[in-house]
Structure 1
Amino acid sequence: MPSSGNHGQAPESGPNRRAVMAAGLGTVALSTTGLSLFGAGPAAAGTSAAPHLGKDAWHRYVQAPSSTTVRPVKTLGTTGRVTRPDALLKPGGGVTVLNRPKPPESPKWPAGTTAEASSAHAGNQGNDGKPRTYVADNAIDGDPDTFWNDDTSAAFPDILTITLPEARALPGLTLISNSDGVPEDFTVETWQDGAWKQTASVTKNSAVQRAVPFDAPVSTAKVRITVTADQDSPKGAFTRVNEVWPEPLEPVEAPSVTIDFGKVVVGYPRVKFTSASDNSPGVRLAFSETRQFLTDRSDFTRADQAGGTGRGTDQFAVPAKGADWKDVKGFQAGDKVFADGLHGFRYLKITLDALDTDAPAALPWGTVSIDSVSLEFTAYLGTPDTFRGWFLCSDDDLNRYWYGAAYTNELVTDTFRRDDVDPRNAWSESLEGKLVLQDGAKRDRDPYVGDLAVSARTLYLTHDDTAEAARNVLADLADHQRADGWIPPASINNYTLPLFDYPLWWVTCSWDYVLYTGDRAYASRYYPQLLKVLDTWYPSVTDDAGLLSKGLNGTGGYGDYAFLNRTGRITYYNANYVQALNDAASLATWLGNEGDAKRWSARADNVAKAVNTYLWDEAAGAYLDSATGPVRHAQDGNSIAITSGIAGSERAGSALDHRDRTTQLRYGNAFMDNDTIFGGASQRVYAFTSYPEIVARFDSGRAESALDQIRRTYGWMDSHDPGITNWEGIGPNGSLYEDAYTSMAHGWSTGVLPALTHQLLGAKPTSPGYATWEVRPNPASVAWAQGQLPTPHGPLGVEWTNEKNTFTVTVRVPRSTRGAVAVPTGGHRVVVRDGRRTLWDGDRGMTRGVRPDGGHILVADLGPGTHTLTVVRAG
């Protein structure tokens, strides 16, 4: 992806890129003038000395393209007849030509031939509204757009038997299948002398068109194909055979070019065709975020969830005079030649080919000449001059992870458009044309409020001038609140998707929005919805112990962020409840509704006590996932029990110790400690639920373990295809947890960014609009860090150095705000001085507002201006 200067270029990775220093801490001195923040010196990022960097040193980590026109960076390969493939990387650099001769007419079975199968999937309604069948006869009907689909409830083998009206000499067969149901292992038998005889055997097949020649022609009236394995899907796989031909025909290889955009991008692809043969040759575009799942079809298209109109690719029929084609959703000719439009992808494969059903509007042969390929980038363009918050530290890996998360979030900050959103009834007139935070670049392109619990914080810390993206979502969901108080998680299914936990995330995300922006109008406008969700709906699903219990009030079928099959008293739901109640109490206090605040705070205390009474597992030293059923302990419940204050320091430490013993993987920490909820749960990592665990580790004085978890989780994603962006989920052995369907640029996975800003750098708001704030660094082994947080009053700037015997922090405070700085002591006895005046003598404070606080010395009530505090180990 081209860019000006170093923009968009990630530095090389590896442990040798880190420069860290052991922390030795001690004395604190306070100055209201101090050092100039972000001094302009020559030292490079990654040095262990105190930073004296230019204010733009962080620019080299920014990942976004330099403009909305994005071009591929290289070609990865070609198939068939292709000349000058590299010419399409930039306009005017020559012409790439794809050529394919007209294929021979496909052979046909004699009239009266029939087919039967061991099983067939039930029919359904196609995208055109007409009934669709998957019966065996589809494999011999001469129409490659129909197919036999076995019933996956039946185990292998899948058997297709073809019966001719009379014996015929067959030289072999050709098997045409769907790319998502390719028979990998199968045998071919023919009926001879009153018995089945094996005529051919195929293993490890991956070809959509597979010729199966016989050793010698066989005279037979029956052919049986037995499938024993399907490609890449050994369990519950579909067998999908579109056609069987009575001759072995090798395919004429379709010419194609595969190009790489260098990282995940999102928007409308554009292809500039200079010319074509006069037979309307078709091209098919396949997109993928990873090379693993780039085949002859895309890793995912929205059409897949709306009936499969394009059969996994976007189509275009090239006019003889050429065209500057922008891939937008719709048909090119009547009901033929369909394109899906916007895509999130890294890799693009362009093939001279066409669907059989698109003839004669598009044909799979001819000649096509291409001048260039580009992308019209639609998401938020996060170039260095748009960042209002930034971060930089001595650990090069952490810098890459922070800006990788920023870029991931930029990819999901986009306008809500009818043609681009999830096709499962997610379009909403009330959101059309508004800036929103989608959940993923490629899918599901719909704003989910649970995702905002992470992605909105990432937005507020990087591009807070687009905070409207979060507000638009929160307000829209509140406007669709159900009569009983339940708030929908997203617009999908016409705002009816039943999730149990997401109304709680709406409360917390509403408080977050107000906390970062100070938007009193939003708080006042939607306070009635807040009352209704907390005082009507959640009490309706509360049991006699005061705990939320999924199953009450008809909620047994409700899901959650992972659609987990858990019912009854669940730690995660109740920890979320405590968090939401306390957040609501803070908002109520700010609005002057003290009665509501006291009631919600009291309820939060009662729920917290009940969680500790009924859901703590003394034997494991951790909170149970569920009070009933198999014993397991989940990341979500244990982490939020700590961050919400349910767990005291002793139980917090015990729960984190349990997770250290049971969930550590080389690619992060698993979200469950065993597989009792589903197979492979103990090997699955969600960055979404890893975020509160990372925060819990920082806040529990385990900063080094928090950094270790960050390096394993985000280091894995950063160093594996597609690189840079944050995955929706990681599966066993570090795989894509839902294969090709997995979103590789997902906003809910960007928690590394707020964790590094709020917990490592240590700066965060403590009241709406940053009227008050706190800086509480947790440096661990990081030598230095600096950054800026955008506030409604101007930037809050922080830098600190962590050397052997000293720790120095400088804070630049914006107007109209006040805050506190808590400097780490590292367990050492410290002395605090203001110039020559002692403020803390190692045992007690010598002036007002200076006191010990959780392994830190707190200096309170700092107003606008620049302040420098230095800690020196006491002698």
Structure 2
Amino acid sequence: MRPLLLSLWPLVVASEPWQAFIHSPASRHVQPTAIHAKSGNVIASKDRNGSYVLAMSAGSQISLDFGVEVGGWISLNANSDSHETSQLSLAFAESPSFVREISDDTGSIASQDYDRALNVSLPHGYSWYRVPEERFRGGFRFLTLNARDEVTVTNVTCKIGFATETKDLRDYAGYFYTSDRDHQLLNRAWYAGAYTVQTNIAPQNTGRFLPQVKNGWAYNSSIGVAGPLLVDGAKRDRAVWPGDLGIQGTTAFLALGNDGLVAYKNALETLFYYQNATTGRFPFAGPATGSFRNGAQSDTYHAWSLIAMHNYAIFTGDSDWLSLHWANITRGIEFITNALDSSYGLHNQTATNDWARQGGGGYNSALNALDYHALSSLATLAKSWSKEASILANAAKWATAAAKLKRSYNDLLWNPETSLFNDNQTTTLAPQDGNSLALLYGLTETPAQATVLSKALTTFWKPIGPVTPELPDTISPFVSSIELLAHFAANETSRALDLTHRLWTYLLDSPLMTGSTIAEGISANGSLYYRGNAGYKHDAAYTSLSHGWSTGPTQGLSFRVAGLEIVGWKKWVFRPQPGGLKDVRSGFDSPLGVFSVGWRRSDDGWGKRWSIQADVKTPKGTTGMVVLPCRDIYLDGRKVANHQKFRGGKAVKVKGTQCS
């Protein structure tokens, strides 16, 4: 995406310095960039094209490093002098910690080594080999070759198999950049999030085959009703999960534009297709999962489905899509309203399947916060989008239900001693997820309550991130993505940036990670034994290192720090939260048109006040407002009141002085 050439920057820096942070390959055919390790008698050299030539003796092993997370199909050339077939095996790993003779686990973890390695038989003489179609490998950085016989291997190549409809993987539709030297981690986090989600855009028929192949793997089942689709992880589960869509759908839109939206839409179409026609409940997960096959249901993921649908609607402004699915959405909301009890208007949680948290049940704080946002946001959307009497009547009922839910939520769950909401009405557990969702979605009743709740969330923080009380010994980048967005919502920008630096620095720089994508989760000590006691049976090699639900900083930096956010049906707000940053450039493309912003902040001399100058461009046919914490605000040199509304369609110069 070519950004608006902003007058605030001289031509010498008006290029695209953020290109240096993009991890996406320049070609769909990529080769290793380095040798990670080797053992036995291996002679490695390079040919005139820069490709590795590997002369391997029987019993030798070499591990090749692609430099970043990749995924797809491996091919290679081989030359064997054996009079019979030569044996070679291929093993795949995301983390440097699990580079070994066998592959990471991608499926069932009962024995922790079902995947093992892919055995290859090579004929006598010179040959070309490509892994079978069903042996698609969704996410890896390292490839280990194990030679059983003497063989020379050349031209090892991975054909990239994600985001298959994208012509140029590096040509993002969105961008974010700050030149502030103290905050380069923010650039890295934004682009790692973008690349993570790009690796999560899967072809339709590359889902995990179930039941799990033993030994080996097969990715040849249908993920959903159309492809490509947004899935939860590059390596695994490679399936549609509604909770993940609540974060990764927004990242896909902001960074990848139309290609991201197509995958987002196809994931939603899968949820619509499998919606229960009787109850209105959306599925806990897509069809390429054991959870779907076993009939598992989830109250929270039902609400996440509706939230993802709301977000897609306002990002695209697609009235035809909304009309097509409004009946589905209405049945989904009615599932929630039917579950709200008459006494308190709260949802008593019975289907407790969730992101892996423990506890739950009762008037669960996370569930009711999600229900509140589904009710209130879709009520607002309905009133902005339609003039039909029945739709407006439903919207009024939803808004009334949301208001009652909010009052009871505070009456029953707020604990003034901890300044946190309890997990439900029968426990003193204060969860990270429920409190973060309550803060993000406006369940607090006053700004003062939001302030103390934001501060209280820091009691969970450790040096590398928050340890969630609802899943002991766990740091969840998914829940922490929600938390950092919540701190932005509470106008606690410095705290949100602190959390970003604290956790995402580790997720990018730890030697356990890929350095280019963001992990599903970690244990409290930073190891990959995420969910060791909660379903993953202490199999650290099973943990996904490219998981779209961990990409909250991409959303926070674009919508909150840069400050240009779509907030409703063809409505936006410019509300930058500099948090000490000196400058930002950001933008994204959408079906509505191009949004772009560039601002520069300067101190007023005493360290307590600052000024901001910005160029803002928004699409024709939209409306928005400027919200700045400044005493004096100017649009194109004309002094205006705060919350000034104006129409999109042109570039506007915004200035704020004496800000705090």
* Shared fold per TM-score greater than 0.5: yes
C-alpha distance in structure 2 between counterparts of 1:326 and 1:283, whole Å: 13
Q: Which of 506, 513, 516 lines up with 2:312 in the alignment?
A: 513
Aligned to 2:403: 605
Aligned AA (1:635): Q
Given that 1:439 and 1:746 are in contact with CA atoms closer than 8 Å, whether structure 2 keeps it comes out as yes
Counterpart in 2 of 1:37? 6
* Cα distance per residue 1:532-567 (max 9 Å; x no partner): 22213662474743211123xxx3xx4112253422
CA distance in structure 2 between the partners assigned to 1:796 and 1:60 by the alignment: 22
1:437 and 2:230 matched: yes
Offset at 1:700?
1.6
Partner residue in 1 for 2:18: 58
Q: Structure 2: how far apart are the matches of 1:636 and 1:822?
A: 28
Aligned counterpart, 2:593: 794
Question: Comparing 418-427 with 726-735, which one deviates more in the overlay?
Answer: 418-427
Partner Cα separation in structure 2 for residue 655 and residue 94 of structure 1: 55
Q: Which position in structure 1 is the counterpart of 2:96?
A: 291
C-alpha distance in 1 between matches for 2:150 and 2:24: 35
Deviation (angstroms), 1:604: 0.6
- Which shows bigger deviation, 306-315 or 401-410? 306-315
- Residue identity matched to 2:480: S
Q: Counterpart in 1 of 2:132?
A: 328
Structure 1 runs not aligned, ≥5 long: 1-34, 44-52, 101-253, 331-339, 354-365, 840-849, 852-856
Q: How far apart are residue 448 of structure 1 and its match?
A: 1.0
3-state secondary structure, aligned to 1:487: coil
**Corresponding residue number in structure 2 for 1:448:** 241
CA distance in 2, matches of 1:310, 1:318: 24
CA 420–432 in structure 1, closer or farther in 2 if over 3 Å, else same: farther
Q: Residue 860 of structure 1 aligns with which residue?
A: 645
Q: Is the 8 A contact 2:336 2:347 kept in 1?
A: no
Contact 1:91-1:371 within 8 A present in 2 as well: no
TM-superposition CA deviations, 1:250-287 (whole Å, max 9, x none): xxxx2100111111111111222133523322212111
Q: Give CA-to-partner distance per residue, 1:403-427, whole Å, 9 cap, x none.
A: 1110111000121215656756997
AA aligned to 1:859 is Q
Task: Tell me, in whole angstroms, the C-alpha distance in 1 between the residues paired with 2:226 and 2:310.
Answer: 25
Distance 2:481 2:594 in 1: 25
Could you tell me which of 54, 58, 62 is aligned with 1:96?
Answer: 54
Rate the CA distance shift 1:800–1:94 in 2: closer, same or farther, 3 A. closer
Q: Distance in 1 between matches of 2:103 and 2:201?
A: 23
Q: Residues 711, 375 of structure 1: CA spacing in aligned structure 2 closer, same or farther, 3 A cutoff?
A: same
Question: If the length of structure 1 is used for normalisation, what is the TM-score?
Answer: 0.67
Give 1 or 2: higher helix fraction.
Answer: 2
Gap change, CA 1:93 and 1:788, over 3 Å in 2 = closer
Task: Give the letter for the 1:713 counterpart.
Answer: L
**Equivalent of 2:85 in 256, 271, 280:** 280
Q: Does 1:67 align with 2:36?
A: no
- Name which of 359, 362, 366 aligns with 1:568: 362
Distance change >3 Å, CA 423–CA 817, structure 1 → 2: farther
* SS state at 1:861 partner: strand
Q: Find the residue that maps to 2:380 and give its secondary structure.
A: helix
Which residue in 2 is equivalent to 1:386? 171
Q: Is the 8 A contact 1:575 1:646 kept in 2?
A: yes
Asked if the contact 2:635–2:653 (Cα under 8 Å) also holds between the matched residues in 1, the reply is: no
Shift in CA distance, 341/696, structure 1 to aligned 2, threshold 3 Å = closer
Asked whether 1:696 is paired with 2:489, we answer no
Following superposition, the deviation at residue 727 of structure 1 comes to 0.8
SS of the counterpart of 1:259? strand
In the alignment, which residue of structure 1 is the partner of 2:444? 647
Structure ranking higher on relative contact order (CA contacts 8 Å, 6+ apart) = 1
Q: Which residue of 1 aligns with 2:255?
A: 462
Shift of the 541–319 alpha-carbon distance from structure 1 to 2, 3 Å rule, reads farther
* Structure 2 counterpart of 1:368, from 151, 159, 176: 151
CA contact (8 A) 1:549 1:570 kept: yes
Q: Are 1:532 and 2:336 an aligned pair?
A: no
Give the C-alpha shift of residue 789 in structure 1: 2.0
The partner residue of 1:315 within 108, 111, 119 is 119
Q: Deviations over 1:318-339 (max 9, x none)?
A: 1112432112256xxxxxxxxx
Matches of 1:656 and 1:699, distance apart in 2: 10
**In the aligned structure 2, how far is the partner of 1:698 from the partner of 1:382?**
35
8 Å Cα contact 1:507/1:583 also seen in 2 = no
CA distance in 2, matches of 1:836, 1:473: 45
What is the TM-score normalised by the length of structure 2? 0.88
Change (3 A) 1:834 1:867: closer
- Find the aligned partners of 2:114 and 2:102 in 1 and give their Cα distance: 9
**8 Å contact from structure 1 (residues 37, 797) kept in 2:** no
Q: Is the 8 A contact 2:230 2:267 kept in 1?
A: yes
Deviation at 1:470, TM superposition (A): 1.1
CA distance in 2, matches of 1:761, 1:386: 21
The higher radius of gyration belongs to 1
Which residue identity lines up with residue 591 of structure 1 in the other structure?
S
Q: Which moved more, 1:304-313 or 1:707-716?
A: 304-313
Task: Tell me the equivalent position of 1:666.
Answer: 463
Cα–Cα, structure 1 residues 325 and 567, in superposed 2: closer, same or farther, change >3 Å?
same
AA of the residue aligned to 1:387: Y
Relative distance call for 1:36 and 1:294 in structure 2 (3 A) is closer
Give per-residue Cα distances to partners, 1:832-855, cap 9 Å, x unaligned: 456776x3xxxxxxxxxx43xxxx
1:821 aligns to what?
A: 626
Percent identity of paired positions between Structure 1 and Structure 2: 25
Greater Cα offset, 710-719 or 286-295:
286-295
Q: 1:742 to 1:382 in 2, by over 3 A?
A: farther
Q: Deviations 1:221-240 (Å, cap 9, x if unpaired)?
A: xxxxxxxxxxxxxxxxxxxx
Measured in 2, the distance between the counterparts of 1:658 and 1:297 equals 44
- 426-435 vs 582-591, which deviates more? 426-435
User: CA–CA distance in 2 between the matches of 1:421 and 1:42?
Assistant: 53
Residue 560 of structure 2: which of 759, 777, 780 is its match?
A: 759
Instruction: Quote how far apart the aligned CAs of 1:432 are.
Output: 6.1
Q: CA deviation at 1:486?
A: 1.5
Distance 1:471 1:514 in 2: 10
Residues in 1 aligned to 2:220 and 2:332: alpha-carbon distance in whole angstroms: 24
Q: How does 1:378-777 map to 2 (within 5 A)?
A: 378-380=161-163, 383=168, 386-393=171-178, 394=180, 395-418=183-206, 431=224, 434-466=227-259, 467-482=261-276, 483-489=278-284, 490-491=286-287, 492-493=289-290, 494=292, 496-536=295-335, 539-540=338-339, 542=341, 544-551=343-350, 555=351, 558-589=352-383, 590-592=385-387, 593-629=391-427, 631-648=428-445, 649-660=447-458, 662-672=459-469, 677=470, 681=472, 683-720=473-510, 721-738=513-530, 739-768=540-569, 771-777=570-576
Q: What amino acid maps onto 1:636 in structure 2?
A: D
Amino acid at match of 1:351: N
Aligned length: 618
Tell me the alpha carbon deviations over residues 292-327 of structure 1, each in whole angstroms, 9 at most, x when there is no partner.
Answer: 12222112244x569999651111111112432112
Q: State how far apart, in whole Å, the 2-side matches of 1:669 and 1:864 are.
A: 42
Report how far residue 444 of structure 1 moved.
Answer: 0.4
Judge conservation of contact 1:569–1:626 (CA < 8 Å) in 2.
Answer: yes
Matched, 1:351 2:139: no
- Is the 1:813–1:863 Cα contact (8 Å) retained in structure 2? yes
**Contact kept in structure 1, 2:6 and 2:14, CA below 8 Å:** no
State the distance in 2 between where 1:54 and 1:835 align: 22
SS in structure 1 of the partner of residue 545 of structure 2: coil
The 8 Å contact of residues 422 and 445 in structure 1, kept in 2 or not, is answered as no
Q: 1:65 to 1:587 in 2, by over 3 A?
A: same
Question: 1:118-177: per-residue Cα shift (whole Å, max 9, x none)?
Answer: xxxxxxxxxxxxxxxxxxxxxxxxxxxxxxxxxxxxxxxxxxxxxxxxxxxxxxxxxxxx
Structure 2: any 5+ residue segments left out of the alignment? 214-218, 531-539, 605-610
Contact (CA 8 Å) 1:268, 1:327: kept in 2 or not? yes
Once the 2 structures are TM-superposed, how far is the Cα of residue 750 of structure 1 from its aligned partner? 0.7
